[in-house]
């Protein structure tokens, strides 16, 4: 069960050295046609349109980072960093299953490894609320909504931009459905909008209720958000084929909110057909010819998601490309499920893959800013 639990994680993963990045933000002002890959080398330096890995932060903001603030949620502090917002709406990063902000009080292990501080360094105001790491997205979404309401009150901004990784994207959809007046955009990264075979498989394993008891007993010292209502089984049921169908029916998209999605692809797959889209901004399209080796951590899970020994369904080790598509599909990045958020503790993607998660989030925020958000 441990591998399967980690498998759906969007994980709080640990260990390794600090991440390094060149930076880079620009935003694409319109849709770009995905170009056919021409090489497997890293993309060239980009410009203000978000087309590469170069430091283009000046194209997005000239604000200086100053100070920090926090917004209280029902599960504790919603940490934020940054000074004057570079755009009209603050950025809220929603963590996935197994997620945390400060693992076991260590003071250093954040879910989006180094992303909040990196964005703050270019003047962005970024919040990273903590919600129950093991629960369904109705429960987590209500907790995230409470945090968003606090952020609105604290900052005076009329709306926020929600960026969710893995299950965090489903939580963000709950918030947008319930309070579309508070949400400008929902952007999801490797979110299982159509479920995961991992969950269907995990639910076949007996003893689920025992697992819930163990999570509640022993998880508390590690994840401060855990309480007696925490349920790993509830999470798995939601990610199942039947569970996600019910979720999608309950939480349709809200008018007036822009929805976009990004998938991850790994295991050295280019997934040219599956990742094709006319809406890919340059900072995503430029990775079309780069492959990513799957982290050994996901070997067992990837085999399940892949469809078996004689099948090859493009995925990031946990979430299939097709299942990650929602709203405007912006394309695929060459990253497995933990590379997408910079874990294990900022280690590289592996092989010749120069993908950098901090640069990716800078570019993603730049894309939102260029679209007026």
- Catalytic (active-site) positions: 166, 316, 337
Sequence-ordered list of residues with C-beta below 8 angstroms from that of 144, at least 6 positions apart, any chain: 73, 92, 94, 129, 131, 171, 172, 174, 175
Smallest CA-to-CA distance from 357 within 367, 370, 343 is with 343
Cβ(10)–Cβ(168) below 8 Å: yes
**Residue 162 CA to its chain's centroid (Å):** 10
Cβ(252)–Cβ(1) below 8 Å: no
Sequence-ordered list of residues with C-beta below 8 angstroms from that of 156, at least 6 positions apart, any chain: none
Question: What are the structure tokens assigned to 147, written together?
Answer: 């945090």
What does the alpha-carbon distance between residue 339 and residue 3 come to, in Å, rounded to a whole number?
Answer: 18
What does the alpha-carbon distance between residue 314 and residue 288 come to, in Å, rounded to a whole number?
Answer: 14
Smallest CA-to-CA distance from 285 within 47, 29, 36, 44 is with 36
What does the alpha-carbon distance between residue 44 and residue 50 come to, in Å, rounded to a whole number?
Answer: 11
Smallest CA-to-CA distance from 262 within 340, 184, 339, 197 is with 340
What is the helix (H) or strand (E) element at residue 211, kind and residue range?
Answer: helix 208-219
Cβ(187)–Cβ(368) below 8 Å: yes
Q: What is the DSSP string of 86-103?
A: SSSS-EEEEP-TT--SSG
């Amino acid at each position: 069960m441990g591998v399967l639990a980690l498998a759906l994680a969007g994980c709080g993963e640990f260990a390794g050295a600090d991440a390094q990045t060149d930076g880079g933000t620009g935003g694409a002002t319109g849709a770009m046609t995905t170009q056919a890959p021409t090489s497997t080398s890293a993309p060239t330096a980009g410009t203000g349109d978000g087309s590469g890995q170069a430091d283009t932060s000046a194209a997005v903001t000239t604000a200086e980072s100053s100070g920090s603030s926090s917004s209280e949620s029902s599960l504790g502090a919603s940490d934020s960093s940054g000074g004057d917002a570079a755009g009209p709406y603050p950025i809220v990063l929603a963590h996935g299953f197994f997620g945390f902000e400060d693992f076991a009080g260590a003071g250093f292990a954040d879910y989006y490894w180094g992303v909040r501080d990196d964005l703050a360094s270019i003047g962005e105001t970024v919040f990273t609320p903590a919600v129950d790491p093991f629960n369904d997205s109705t429960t987590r979404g209500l907790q995230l909504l409470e945090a968003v309401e606090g952020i609105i009150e604290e900052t005076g901004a009329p709306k926020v931009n929600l960026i969710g990784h893995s299950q965090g994207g489903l939580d963000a959809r709950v918030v947008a459905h319930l309070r579309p007046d508070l949400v400008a955009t929902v952007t999801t990264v490797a979110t299982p909008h159509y479920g995961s075979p991992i969950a269907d498989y995990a639910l076949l394993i007996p003893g689920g209720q025992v697992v819930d008891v163990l999570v509640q007993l022993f998880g508390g010292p590690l994840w401060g958000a855990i309480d007696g209502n925490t349920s790993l089984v509830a999470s798995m049921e939601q990610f199942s084929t039947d569970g996600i169908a019910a979720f999608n029916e309950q939480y349709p998209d809200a008018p007036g909110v822009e929805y976009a999605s990004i998938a991850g692809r790994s295991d050295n797959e280019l997934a040219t057909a599956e990742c094709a889209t006319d809406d890919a901004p340059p900072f995503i399209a430029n990775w079309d010819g780069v492959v990513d080796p799957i982290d050994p951590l996901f070997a067992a899970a990837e085999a399940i998601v892949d469809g078996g020994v004689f099948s090859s369904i493009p995925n990031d080790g946990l979430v299939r490309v097709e299942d990650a598509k929602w709203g405007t599909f912006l394309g695929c990045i060459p990253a497995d499920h933990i590379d997408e958020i910079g874990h294990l503790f900022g280690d590289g993607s592996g092989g010749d893959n120069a993908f950098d998660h901090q640069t990716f989030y800078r570019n993603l925020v730049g894309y939102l800013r260029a679209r007026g958000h």
